Amino acid sequence: MPLFADLCLMNANVITVVQDNPVAEAIAIKQNRIVAVGSNEEIGGLVEKGTKTRDVQGYSVIPGLIDSHMHPGMYGIAKTGIDCDTSSMSELLESVKRRAHETPSGKWVLGSGLDDIKLGRYPSLKELDEASPDNPVYIERRDAHIGIVNSLALQRADIDDNTPDPPHGKIDRDENGKPTGVLRESAKDLVYEKTPEPTVEDYKKGLKLVMEEFLTLGITTIHASMTCTKQFRAFQELRQEGRLPLRVCMHMSGDDEGILESLIATGIQTPFGDDWLKITEIEWIFDTSTSGRTAAYYEPYIDEPDNTGILLYDQDDITERVKKAHDAGLRVGLDGIGDRGIDRALDAIEAALEEHPRDDHRHRIEHCCYATPAIQSRLKELGVIDASATGFLHDLGDAYQANRGKDAMQWMWPHRSLIDKGIPAPGHSDCPICSPNPWLGIYGMVTRKTSSGQVLHREEGVTPLEGIEAYTRLGAYSAWEETEKGTIEEGRLADVVVIDRNPLEVPIDELRNTKTLLTIVDGKIAYDRLQEH
**Quick one: pLDDT at residue 2?**
54
- CB count in 10 Å sphere of residue 93: 17
The alpha helices in 79-124, defined as continuous H runs, are 89-102, 116-119
CA distance 329 to 311: 25
**Which three-class secondary structure state does DSSP give residue 36?**
strand
Instruction: Confirm if 384 and 366 have CB atoms less than 8 A apart.
Output: no
Backbone dihedral angles phi then psi of residue 33, each to the nearest 5 degrees: -125, 150
Domains and CATH numbers, the chain: 1-63+486-533 (2.30.40.10), 78-192 (3.10.310.70)
CA 56 to centroid of chain Cα atoms: 30
Name the DSSP letter for residue 434. S
- Tell me how far CA of residue 533 lies from CA of 55, 313, 332, 434, in angstroms: 11, 52, 44, 29
3-state SS, one letter per residue, for 132-199: CCCCCEEEEECCCCEEEECHHHHHHCCCCCCCCCCCCEEEEECCCCCEEEEEEEHHHHHHHCCCCCCC
| pLDDT value, residue 185 | 93
Kindly report the backbone phi and psi dihedral angles of residue 208, in degrees, each rounded to the nearest multiple of 5, phi listed first.
Answer: -60, -40
The b-or-e profile of 374-412 (16+ CB within 10 A means b, else e) is ebbebbeeebbbbbbbbbbbbbbbbbbbbbbeeebbbbb
Q: Report how far residue 209's alpha carbon sits from residue 215's, in angstroms, rounded to the nearest whole number.
A: 11
pLDDT of residue 40: 98
Residue 376 has phi, psi (to 5 degrees) of -60, -40
What is the Rg, in whole angstroms, of the alpha carbon atoms belonging to the chain?
Answer: 23
Q: Which residues pair with 184 in a beta bridge?
A: 146, 170
| Cα separation, 521 vs 497, whole angstroms | 9
pLDDT tens digits, 380-424: 999 999 999 999 999 999 999 999 999 999 999 999 999 999 999
pTM of the entire structure?
0.94
pLDDT at 532: 78
Tell me whether strands 332-336 and 277-284 are parallel, antiparallel or unpaired. Answer: parallel
DSSP 319-332: HHHHHHHHHTT--E
**Considering only CA atoms, which of 102, 289, 103 is closest in space to residue 196?**
103
Low-confidence ranges of the chain (pLDDT < 50): 1
Is residue 425 a contact partner of residue 387, using CB atoms and an 8 Å limit? yes
Q: In this structure, is the dihedral angle defined by the CA atoms of residues 439, 441, 445 and 449, taken in order, positive or negative? A: positive
Q: What residues contact 252, with CB distance under 8 A and at least 6 apart?
A: 227, 232, 259, 263, 279, 281, 282, 283
Angle, helix 373-382 to helix 339-355, in steps of 10 degrees: 20
